[in-house]
Amino acid sequence: MTASKRFALLLAASVLATACSTAAAPVAAGPTTARPRFTPIPTEAPTATVAPTATPLPLPKFDQVPVAAQDPAALGAQLAMAESFIRDPNVTGDQLAWAGHMEELVLGQLSDFPDWADQVLGALPADQRQAVRGSVEAGKQLRTMHSVTPKNLPDWHIVAPAPIDDLLAYYHEAEAKYGVPWYFLASINLIETRMGRIRGDSTAGAQGPMQFIPQTWAAYGQGDVNSPHDAILAAARYLKAAGAPGDMNRALFAYNHALAYVNAVTDYAEVMHADLMAFRGYYGWQVYYGTVDGVIYMPVGWKKE
């Protein structure tokens, strides 16, 4: 298997985790003591010295799918460019989408070549480096949830996510009503359906951008399961009933009965809690899917033939 196929398979792992195991009512979770978390970035981060990087990259073609480099120096330059775009509030539209997609691909390469991590992340300021390490750790957790590579493509339709500002408004509305921190809701949305890009039932019959099985939606949903607004509020309602925000581990374990899932959701959530701009990068992450025959990229509009 080529390196590009390997890292794409690892990217696909988080999407393949979307068979949400929410029960019809919150279950009493067993012990869910998570491993120690990475340290949140200080509010006043010290000024960092940026390590030397490769020759600056030419301005990318934002209307084209990015391609991750095959060596650590070039990969570090790509990541530095992507992160600078993600953290620039003036960067929007195709440029921001490109940056998030590139960030995702670089993380995939680091999953294949962990020995490159120090050199690649050395191209970033210290505060950004810590956030990226949190994303890498979340990906590691998700990959432990998969043992069998599927043979067939899923019966999905890939759609455009809701606008970024709308999603943030829905997360904050849910937090105000139910007390569930917005960044946990965003993390679940990212892991389950790449911010709502995946339209179609999971292998467990879960539906919508937050992946509810019908029985759970009947108990906690209001409105349309495929509506980002309605699904995000339902997820907060469910998590609240399962113990959030006082015991997020227990609530997340009720949402999906796997400690690795709890850890991954928490890792992405902590990254966004410490660095709000990180959400802008996650918003651009795309859908990849690996089967025994290879890996495909599923852009908006993709549908199983």
pLDDT digits 0-9 by tens, 190-213: 999 999 999 998 878 899 999 999
Write down the domain spans for the chain. Answer: 3-298
Question: What is residue 125's predicted lDDT score, i.e. its pLDDT?
Answer: 93
pLDDT at position 24 over 60: no
56 or 295, which is more confident? 295
Residue 23: pLDDT over 50: no
Q: Which residues contact 257 (CB under 8 A, 6 or more apart)?
A: 21, 27, 29
In tens, the pLDDT along 227-283 reads 999 999 999 999 999 999 999 999 999 999 999 999 999 999 999 999 999 999 999
DSSP 3-state assignment of 83? helix
Instruction: Render pLDDT for 57-84 as a digit per residue (tens, 0 to 9).
Output: 778 999 999 999 999 999 999 999 999 9
* Band of pLDDT at residue 49, cut at 50, 70 and 90: very low
Distances (CA, A) of 26 to 148, 193, 217, 233, 241: 28, 21, 12, 16, 7
Residue percentage of the chain with pLDDT more than 70: 82
- Concatenated DSSP letters of 226-260: T-HHHHHHHHHHHHHHTTTTTTHHHHHHHHSS-HH
Burial of 73 by CB count in 10 Å (0-12 exposed, 13-18 middle, 19+ buried)? middle
Rounded CA separation 15/65 (Å) = 19
In this predicted model, what pLDDT tens digit does every residue of 277-305 receive, in sequence order?
Answer: 999 999 999 999 999 988 899 999 999 88
Contact 178, 237 (CB under 8 A): yes
Q: Given this model, what pLDDT does residue 154 score?
A: 93
The confidence score (pLDDT) of residue 56 equals 65
Q: If you average pLDDT over residues 11-25, what whole number do you get?
A: 44
- Cα gap 104→130, rounded to integer Å: 16
Name the residue among 230, 181, 221 with its Cα closest to residue 24. 221
- What is the phi/psi pair of residue 296, to 5°? -125, 150
The closest alpha carbon to 287, from 297, 279, 278, 277, belongs to 297
The first and second tokens of residue 250, run together, are 């227990």
